[in-house]
Amino acid sequence: MSKAAVPLRILCIHGYRQNGSSFREKTGALRKLLKKQVEMVYISAPHQVPAVQNETNQMSSGGDEDQRGWWFSDVQARSFNAQQECESSLGLEESIETVKTAVKELGPFDGILGFSQGATLVAMLCALQEQKLEADFNFRFAILVAGFRSVCSQHRRFYEGTVITIPSLHVFGQDDHVIPEEMSRDLLPAFDGAQILIHPGGHFVPAASLHRQTYKDFLKKFE
């Protein structure tokens, strides 16, 4: 850590149907694991996700009252599916602006962490930074948990031409049925020298004691 022992500040980007508050709760174990090393700051996506109807035709919030998303793959239904191929998406530009505002008002940040749809957004933000298209982004590292390569045609620009050189740690579960391991692996070629942390679990941010050293070793390079 620096001479003043200032923790690394990380901007945290939640997954689909989460928000900043719920993601903060879900990453409590990670915050505890890294509390001496990092300060994690959480923001919410600008788009509210419509509640889903359950079998009894009741509107279900899935546990979180305020469900948010960074973009929708189905423009008409305002829904998102990581495996849904689409020509265009809805809401991505507003989400990029939301992150830019957070950087200006809550920053500076050393790094950025994203989960699931949020991790895919992080990859896009890193691409914009690499292409020098967004002067507001100056992240020194990125942690992507259950990330994937967007299959929306409109998003190809983030993966073509420029290899992302921002140091990155890619975390994915071997038993993840939401974003299968191969989808996360498909994102790796977009990053130069990507580091990997594989865990045996499912769709969550792993923070067991056996993962501590991998996170700490990665973060130590930026202290």
Catalytic residue among 116, 150, 168, 184: 116
- Select which of 66, 79, 136, 203 is catalytic: 203
**Helices in 107-190 by DSSP H: which ranges?**
117-130, 181-185
Asked if 166 contacts 134 with a C-beta cutoff of 8 angstroms, the reply is no
Catalytic residue among 89, 176, 184, 199: 176
Nearest to 148 by CA among 117, 112, 193: 117
Rounded Cα gap, residues 190 and 212, in angstroms = 26
- Dihedral class, residue 186 (left if φ above 0, else alpha if ψ from -120 to 50, else beta): alpha
**Active-site residue flag, 168:** no
The question of whether 176 is a catalytic residue gets the answer yes
Q: Rounded CA gap, 176 and 89, in Å?
A: 25
Q: Does 177 participate in catalysis according to the annotation?
A: no
| Residues tagged active-site | 116, 176, 203
